[in-house]
Amino acid sequence: MTAHLARVERVNPMVNAIVTLAADDALLEADAADAALARGDAVGPLHGLPIAHKDLFVTAGLRTTFGSRVFADHVPSETAVIVERERRAGAITIGKTNTPEFGAGSQTFNEVFGATRNPFDLTKTCGGSSGGAAVALATGMVPIADGSDLGGSLRNPASFCNVVGLRPTPGRVPSWPDATPWFPFSVAGPMARTVGDVALLLDAIAGSDSRAPLSVGIPAAPCADALERDLRDVRVAWSPDLGGLPVEPAVTAVLERQRGAFEALGCSVEHDCPDFSGADTVFITWRAWAYDAMFGDTLDRHPGMLKDTVVWNIEAGRALTGRDLADAERARAALYDRVRRFMTEYEFLLLPVAQVVPFDIDQPYVTEINGEALPTYLDWMKSCYQISVTGLPAMSVPCGHTPEGLPVGLQIVGRPFDERGVLQLAHAFEQATECWRRRPPLLAALAEP
Which of 354, 337, 361 shows the shortest CA–CA distance to 411? 354
Widest Cα–Cα separation across the chain: 65
CA distance 206 to 189: 9
Orientation angle between helical segments 195-205 and 419-433, nearest 10 degrees? 160
| pLDDT confidence bin for 217, thresholds 50/70/90 | very high
CB-CB contact of 153 with 168 (8 Å): no
Check whether 195 has a pLDDT greater than 80: yes
Q: DSSP assignment, residue 414?
A: -
CB-CB contact of 132 with 65 (8 Å): no
CA distance 43 to 35: 11
Average the pLDDT over 426-437 and give the result.
Answer: 98
CA distance 384 to 159: 11
Write down all domains in the chain, each with its CATH number in brackets.
2-447 (3.90.1300.10)
Check whether 444 has a pLDDT greater than 90: no
Per-residue pLDDT tens for 377-395? 999 999 999 999 999 999 9
Check whether 366 has a pLDDT greater than 70: yes
CB-CB contact of 129 with 104 (8 Å): yes
Check whether 448 has a pLDDT greater than 90: no
CA distance 256 to 121: 23
pLDDT mean across residues, the chain:
97
Q: Name every residue whose Cβ is closer than 8 Å to that of residue 52 and which is 6 or more positions away in sequence.
A: 17, 18, 93, 94, 95, 96, 97, 132, 133, 136, 141, 142, 145, 146
Check whether 180 has a pLDDT greater than 70: yes
CB-CB contact of 30 with 92 (8 Å): yes
Q: What is the pLDDT of residue 447?
A: 75
Q: What is the pLDDT of residue 449?
A: 58
Amino acid at 330: R
- 326-346 exposure pattern, b = at least 16 Cβ within 10 A, e = fewer: eebeebbeebbebbeebbeeb
In total, the chain counts a number of residues equal to: 449
Residues involved in catalysis = 54, 129, 153
Cis peptide before 249 (omega within 30 of 0): no
Angle CA 410–413–415, to nearest 5: 160
Average the pLDDT over 188-207 and give the result.
Answer: 98
Which of 448, 391, 442, 439 shows the shortest CA–CA distance to 419? 391
Per-residue pLDDT tens for 313-355? 999 999 999 999 999 999 999 999 999 999 999 999 999 999 9
Per-residue pLDDT tens for 225-274? 999 999 999 999 999 999 999 999 999 999 999 999 999 999 999 999 99
Per-residue pLDDT tens for 52-75? 999 999 999 999 999 999 999 999
Q: What is the pLDDT of residue 221?
A: 85
CA distance 171 to 187: 7
Orientation angle between helical segments 322-345 and 279-301, nearest 10 degrees? 130
Question: Would you call 84 exposed, middle or buried from its count of C-beta atoms within 10 A (0-12, 13-18, 19+)?
Answer: middle
Per-residue pLDDT tens for 95-141? 999 999 999 999 999 999 999 999 999 999 999 999 999 999 999 99
